[in-house]
Structure 1
């Protein structure tokens, strides 16, 4: 490709948080330009947001149907190449399906859909069209997460025995959904956020991180979900025991009511020979712990890192990389894959979460809910 990819955005107007993050990430490598958008369900906000981003007046849309229809009718050299969907969970499936049906690649916020059935339909449509879908599980974009994945894959730690992953936040420790917090309102509404608030919103990140780094897949789980804040409609805290396909055991905890916490995501993995540990709030450090030997400290930007980590490192050692850079890595890899596809080729090194990770994420949410409602100790992880 000898040009930038053209992006359209659904949601993410000036009254939203995550849309700006996506635009920064997409623009980080100079490989993408925003050419159109339906940036809000509020017509006035949609138009004002489009103007503030200097979009042409005729490419500021007020709903996704109009945007996809009109963009599909533009000449190939003008229309958007892909759509980024940053709407609440209940508004993921329909626009993603319509975009794929009209020949557009898709970037979509997690969780991929509202239900597992929708995720299955979306995967079938991706396979039918041959188009590319990227799911923004941001944390897999960190260089030291990729280094952890390489270390596990190398066999240096031996067989994985135990995985402990947790994601703790405190922003829902009060009933903020009744105090004008729009993000809290839709996330805790089962009709808009899905069957589980805590597992859909942050538990899926922890689940994805565990499977990504270890290369293993969950086969069974045992979940305990709870509504801590009285009067809330959906769970805000939970713990899940996990069984992996190599026989390893795991425990996943997620809480949106851990007062005082910000985005405390961490993972610890124990193998036969040693273990590793990574904290999202200290993302440039990876700890390797050995039995009878000193702990090793791996740092981002250093020459001893593996290829996967180096390919996703942007700054020299000692210059912190964080959330935006990790997000940018997701977009860069997606763009490389799409550009190659448009040139009739396949990029086998571009790595990013896909529709498969989205499907497994929804299966995790629904399996956790089913387990929580069951009297059985273990529930099979089913797709």
Structure 2
């Protein structure tokens, strides 16, 4: 039996929603064990979080720099194999860089960095130090999203013509309590974008993951509806893809009443498909001359990729945590293979990489550029390898 992969976490301290999600995902399949962390810049909070998680006190650190240095100095049978980075955007680059240079694999929340220069430097560092880097575009972890990609690859939809992807939320529809403290609205922390960086990049990656299509050019209409905000809270994009497909991307956090309504509709010249995150266990196929088909997670008729990323039988819903867990599970399997000198399973290699991160940062910056200048912008881009 493969040994548990030891992981550490930077961020995810008391009250952190996303830190808790990452820990649940990492623990779900019994392949990883949390052994170290620097959970907050407040050392008392970090110690308290470490105590709650039953970590050894000497593996709970006051800073991520101290954590990287001390962990790298430990024997290879004790130190962390991978670090989970769940800090605000402005810290992603420094934290990731520090651990990559220490020879530690990285799992990082999106967007990868706040600037394209930082993103490209991480690409170069990952290649230089031969580390794994996984970006948690968790929606690519859903089995039915992987089924959608397989159907596109098999030509079931025919030639792709149009995609409509939407990600509406309503939690910022009105001014929120202590809005100045919401880091996603603070350009000093979030960077140049709020809504596009937070959820628009998920929508863009979902299209790219399913179709493999790269954007040729885009036109963005960005808006800030709530008075007093510096960054956008709504965005509408027209997108032209290199394969001739045309797209509409809508990301909004002022769509009142919406919760987390990510949805994609993809139209070819033979068929169409539809998937929505709030009903993730179903994938709908539509045809011009026969009834609609509904594919359901957990069934034997699905593709190998969808079955590989499935845990329980049909009729038992899987969701958000499991999609995150598929990324963690795959990273654990690839690290285990590396340790044993084996070739990783191709299906385990199915997670977003540092290059996906760079493409996402490029998308964010170009969308904001287009929105501010009110013009079409060229999207041609190849990240460093």
Same fold (TM over 0.5): yes
Match of 1:138 in 2: 138
Q: Is 1:243 aligned with 2:236?
A: no
Structure 1 residue 380 displacement after superposition = 3.2
Structure 1 residue 56 displacement after superposition = 0.4
Match of 1:9 in 2: 9
Match of 1:102 in 2: 102
Q: Is 1:299 aligned with 2:296?
A: yes
For 2:316 and 2:270, how far apart are their aligned partners in 1? 31
Runs of 4+ in structure 1 off by over 6 angstroms are: none
Q: Is 1:318 aligned with 2:307?
A: no
Q: Is the 8 A contact 1:371 1:379 kept in 2?
A: no
Q: Within 5 Å, which residues of 2 pair with 1:63-74?
A: 63-74=63-74
Q: Is the 8 A contact 2:219 2:374 kept in 1?
A: no
Residue-by-residue CA offset, 1:227-251 (whole Å, 9 max, x unaligned): 1111111001001111111111101
Match of 1:208 in 2: 205
Q: Is the 8 A contact 1:370 1:379 kept in 2?
A: no
Structure 1 residue 62 displacement after superposition = 1.4
Match of 2:254 in 1: 257
For 1:83 and 1:375, how far apart are their aligned partners in 2? 40
Structure 1 residue 17 displacement after superposition = 0.8
Q: Is 1:342 aligned with 2:339?
A: yes
Structure 1 residue 374 displacement after superposition = 2.2
For 2:102 and 2:18, how far apart are their aligned partners in 1? 25
The secondary structure found in structure 1 opposite 2:240 is strand
For 2:221 and 2:177, how far apart are their aligned partners in 1? 23
For 2:377 and 2:22, how far apart are their aligned partners in 1? 38
Q: CA RMSD in A?
A: 1.2
Structure 1 residue 179 displacement after superposition = 5.0
For 1:177 and 1:374, how far apart are their aligned partners in 2? 32
The secondary structure found in structure 1 opposite 2:262 is strand
Structure 1 residue 252 displacement after superposition = 0.3
Q: Is the 8 A contact 1:243 1:249 kept in 2?
A: yes
For 1:250 and 1:179, how far apart are their aligned partners in 2? 33
Q: Is 1:289 aligned with 2:273?
A: no
The secondary structure found in structure 2 opposite 1:8 is strand
Q: Is 1:280 aligned with 2:277?
A: yes
For 2:369 and 2:381, how far apart are their aligned partners in 1? 11
For 2:9 and 2:376, how far apart are their aligned partners in 1? 43
Residue-by-residue CA offset, 1:158-187 (whole Å, 9 max, x unaligned): 01110110100011112226358x5xx110
The secondary structure found in structure 1 opposite 2:352 is coil
Match of 1:119 in 2: 119
Structure 1 residue 378 displacement after superposition = 4.1
Give the alignment's TM-score, normalised by structure 2: 0.96
Q: Is the 8 A contact 2:220 2:374 kept in 1?
A: no
Structure 1 residue 377 displacement after superposition = 3.2
For 2:83 and 2:303, how far apart are their aligned partners in 1? 32
Instruction: For structure 1, list consecutive stretches of 5 or more residues without a partner in the other structure.
Output: none
After superposition, the Cα gap between the structure-2 partners of 1:246 and 1:124, relative to the gap in structure 1 and judged at 3 Å, is same
Residue-by-residue CA offset, 1:204-240 (whole Å, 9 max, x unaligned): 0000000000111112111111111111110010011
Match of 1:39 in 2: 39
Give the alignment's TM-score, normalised by structure 1: 0.97
Q: Is the 8 A contact 2:217 2:376 kept in 1?
A: no
After superposition, the Cα gap between the structure-2 partners of 1:258 and 1:117, relative to the gap in structure 1 and judged at 3 Å, is same
Q: Is the 8 A contact 1:83 1:107 kept in 2?
A: yes
Structure 1 residue 379 displacement after superposition = 3.4
Q: Is the 8 A contact 1:219 1:380 kept in 2?
A: yes
Number of corresponding residues: 380
Residue-by-residue CA offset, 1:352-382 (whole Å, 9 max, x unaligned): 1111110110010011011112243343344
For 2:11 and 2:138, how far apart are their aligned partners in 1? 18
For 1:382 and 1:123, how far apart are their aligned partners in 2? 14
Residue-by-residue CA offset, 1:264-323 (whole Å, 9 max, x unaligned): 000000001010000100000100000111000100011110100000111111000100
Residue-by-residue CA offset, 1:338-364 (whole Å, 9 max, x unaligned): 111222233122111111110110010
